[in-house]
Chains A and B, each alone.
Chain A
Amino acid sequence: MRKSSIVLISAALAALLASPFIVSLLSPPSPPPRPELPRDVKECVRPAAQMRAEHMVLLHQWRDDVVRRGDRREVMIGGVSYAKSLTGSCMKCHRHKEKFCDRCHGALSSAPKCWDCHVYRKEVRP
């Protein structure tokens, strides 16, 4: 009697632990996040594939240039001059954080703390 109850309880426990994996295996794959790209601008400071994979590397390089090295020289890419600035350059094209940053970062539960300090306000966007 006692033995069978132990087997039952452990089976139930195993089922409970495995349930998230089973559910996700059975349900259709969730669609990949689709960040909304700016319509009026086609060129970014780097090729799209590189930006997708390494945008934080670039942001950190810009941050270190400006804050730690005091190097605020603008970067010239494809004949356009960009300030090394998250709010001053990136967000000028990618105007809506909710429709761009948050889509992927939300889907991946990755929450960098940029906006704790840097100011994002819809009404100040041009």
Chain B
Amino acid sequence: MKTTRRELLKRGAKTGLLLLGGTALYEVVSGSELLTGGAPLRHAMAVDLRRCLQEEGCDRCAAACHGAHNVPRIADELRAVKWIWKDEMGRIFPETVGRIANAELREKKTVVLCNHCTNAPCVRVCPTGATFSREDGIVMMDQHRCIGCRYCMAACPYGSRSFNWYDPRRFLSEDAINPDYPTRTRGVVEKCDFCAERLDTGGRPLCVEACRAGALIHGNLNDPGSDLRRALQGRFALRRRAELDTDPGIYYLL
């Protein structure tokens, strides 16, 4: 088939747009220019930095999450297990906040958790299908299938995954275990599952419920009327390592 001049120009324009998109070092999203589509439901979350950064030393979200999900408290930082925790802004956004001179902002802490990426690298590398993407945007783990190879930990750009070096029950006191949620076992990887068990029954993630500052907003990213979309509207937001094109589902509202 002969390529018409019109088609060639069209293709050229598309290639140009792709190149432009691909070379962006980082992105700033604003609510009004959100490009969404696909599934009718896409679970996502916003962290309102104005509210969260003010609550220094607060860890209610992590305490609620780790308590309910039987996450062991292990002192050794290299072998600790975490689903949601606080880290310095400069480390969360190394290519933006990390490069600015304002040390005060760089060292302020906010929450990090699994970004529930649309194009999740952990899902791509998992050899057993233990980690998979649900249609509603949750990156889920099936612990029954995890063989502990830790490919996902190497692939995740956010360090959101933890390996169980020990039997977690050694670090959970008998009366602190939540019997309605399984613990994990030695030799498997775990991470935040966005409280899939709560979302499936119409609830909200525990961290969102636990936040007294109202800094965590959960909602359907693909529904223009959702709490989340309203929060994103008219504000600028950062996403972590957006240049990797993982399409993270956690937005940090500036």
Residues of A at under 8 Å CB distance from B? 63, 67-68, 70, 72, 87-88, 113, 116-119, 121, 124
Contact = CB atoms under 8 A, between A and B. Distances in A.
A124 to B, nearest CB: 4
Contacts of A116: 185
Nearest to A67: B142
Contacts of A88: 180
A67 B146 CA distance: 13
Interface of B: 70, 132, 134, 136, 140, 142-144, 174, 177-185, 196-197, 200-201
A113 B185 contact: yes
Contacts of B177: 119, 121
Contacts of A70: 134, 136, 140, 196, 200
Given A70-B200, A72-B197, 7 more contacts: A72-B201, A87-B180, A88-B180, A113-B185, A117-B183, A118-B182, A119-B178
State the majority secondary structure of interface residues on B: loop
Contacts of B196: 70
A66 to B, nearest CB: 8
Contacts of B182: 117-119
A113 to B, nearest CB: 7
A9 B196 CA distance: 66
B185 A67 contact: no
B179 A117 contact: no
A121 to B, nearest CB: 6
A72 B179 contact: no
Contact of B183 (A67, A68, A72, A119): A119
B184 A117 contact: yes
A113 B132 CA distance: 22
A121 B200 contact: no
Contacts of B197: 72
Q: Which of A68, A88, A117, A118 has the most CB of B within 10 A?
A: A117
A87 B144 contact: no
A118 B180 CA distance: 8
A88 B180 CA distance: 7
Nearest to A124: B179
Contacts of A113: 185
B68 to A, nearest CB: 13
